[in-house]
Amino acid sequence: MKEALIIVDVQNDYFPGGGLPTWRPEETANEIKKILDTFRQKGKEVIHVAHHVTPEMEKLLPIMKKGTRGAEIHETVKPLPSEKVIYKNYSDSFVATDLKEYLLSKKIDTIIVVGMMMHNCVNATAYSGTDEGFKTIVVAEAVNTFDQEIFGEVIPAETIWKSFLAGIKFAYAQVKRVDDIINGNY
């Protein structure tokens, strides 16, 4: 098994003061950092993914505009010069990027997906990773979301988080804890 850590959209707009603050952003980033530090210490592959909205999407959701502070990767998980950074315009980190080709060039067969937000970009990336033939793992404490409304009811972030983790675990990815990843139990 040869794995890569894929850190999805840990960008300033998802933190307090940003355009779309999420649930537990600092805690989530700190959990990701634990895994990131382990991967760096062991010389394992790390890939950072950052979302840049298209002009059309910016009209609906004016966040993560290329060149803004909000679109920058958060300082907690800043890439090293040696680490791959992929910029995307869609929820799925595989769409219109070189992610698949890069993983294959490095002989990666397992991806560990963490980041923001579980209900959107993390979920889309994990599903595609499995569909593209990679063993896919999502790390529970290292993903987040935010409260969302439907039919006049606000669904708490924690409920959304649990629901998406349970859903993806059904048939698409393993769901592990941070300690599992740090200790190589996957």
The superfamily (CATH) of domain 3-182 is Isochorismatase-like (3.40.50.850)
102 sits in the region (left: phi over 0; alpha: psi -120 to 50; else beta) called alpha
Quote the pLDDT of residue 163.
97
How large is the average pLDDT for residues 153-172? 97
- Give me the chain's average pLDDT, please: 97
The residues near 182 (Cβ < 8 Å, ≥ 6 apart) are 34, 35, 38
What does the pLDDT read at residue 69? Answer: 98
Report the distance separating Cα 68 and Cα 72, nearest Å: 7
Q: What is the mean pLDDT of residues 16-23?
A: 97
The string of pLDDT tens digits covering residues 118-136 is 999 999 999 999 999 999 9
Domains of the chain by residue range: 3-182
d(C-alpha 186, C-alpha 182), whole Å: 10
The number of CA neighbours under 13 Å toward the Cβ of 32 is 33
Token pair for residue 80? Answer: 């090293």
pLDDT for 19: 97
The amino acid occupying position 178 is: V
User: Do 125 and 162 touch, CB atoms closer than 8 A?
Assistant: no
- pLDDT tens, 132-158? 999 999 999 999 999 999 999 999 999
Q: What does the pLDDT read at residue 71?
A: 98
| Banded model confidence at residue 39, pLDDT cuts 50, 70, 90 | very high
The stretch 93-103 carries a mean pLDDT of: 98
The model's confidence at residue 105, banded by pLDDT at 50, 70 and 90, is very high
